[in-house]
Amino acid sequence: MAYEKPLPVINEDTAPFWEYCHKHELRMQKCRQCGYIRFPASIVCPRCHSLEAEWTRLSGKGRVYSFIVYHQAYHPSYKDELPYAVAIIQLDEGPRMESNVIGCEMEDIKIDMPVEVIFDDVTDEVTLPKFNPAL
């Protein structure tokens, strides 16, 4: 069955992030000069302005920084998933990212809850990082 939900817009800067997701690895740019891990991807470090960065593998562990549970489908393709949670995940290594918390009842999601990444291969090309409650 075709995947009908919106897909990420992948550009030259973000392509490596999505390629690593496809390999089920959560990687973000780490500045070679000051060590700052940044997200979303960009060509320059916002801390020290260095252009030198490497794609470092993250633990995939973090905590729920904020979240909302959708009870209404604002895009028709989400109607069968209601209710679902969109969350900002505070990763252990520092960056925050938007994602979904899955693998539990919506009422069990709490601020500061430990979570860990899983990878959802939604199309042949695109894999979305999502988060499960950490055991």
Rule CB under 5 A: which residues touch Zn ion?
A: 31, 33-34, 36, 45, 47-48, 50
CB atoms within 10 A of CB 51: 10
Residue 103 beta carbon to Zn ion: minimum distance, rounded to whole angstroms? 35
What are the structure tokens assigned to 2, written together?
């075709």
Of 30 and 130, the one with the shorter C-beta distance to Zn ion is 30
Of 34 and 111, the one with the shorter C-beta distance to Zn ion is 34
Residue 20 beta carbon to Zn ion: minimum distance, rounded to whole angstroms? 20
Residue 82 beta carbon to Zn ion: minimum distance, rounded to whole angstroms? 41
Of 26 and 31, the one with the shorter C-beta distance to Zn ion is 31
Of 54 and 81, the one with the shorter C-beta distance to Zn ion is 54
Strand ranges across the sheet with 27-31 = 37-38, 27-31, 53-57
Residue 44 beta carbon to Zn ion: minimum distance, rounded to whole angstroms? 9
- The strand pair at 84-91 and 96-101 is best described as antiparallel
Helix (H) or strand (E) holding 16: helix 15-22
Residue 6 beta carbon to Zn ion: minimum distance, rounded to whole angstroms? 32
Say how far apart CA 31 and CA 87 lie, in whole Å. Answer: 26
Instruction: Give 37's contacts (C-beta < 8 A, 6+ positions apart).
Output: 28, 29, 30, 31, 56, 58, 93, 94, 95
Of 36 and 119, the one with the shorter C-beta distance to Zn ion is 36
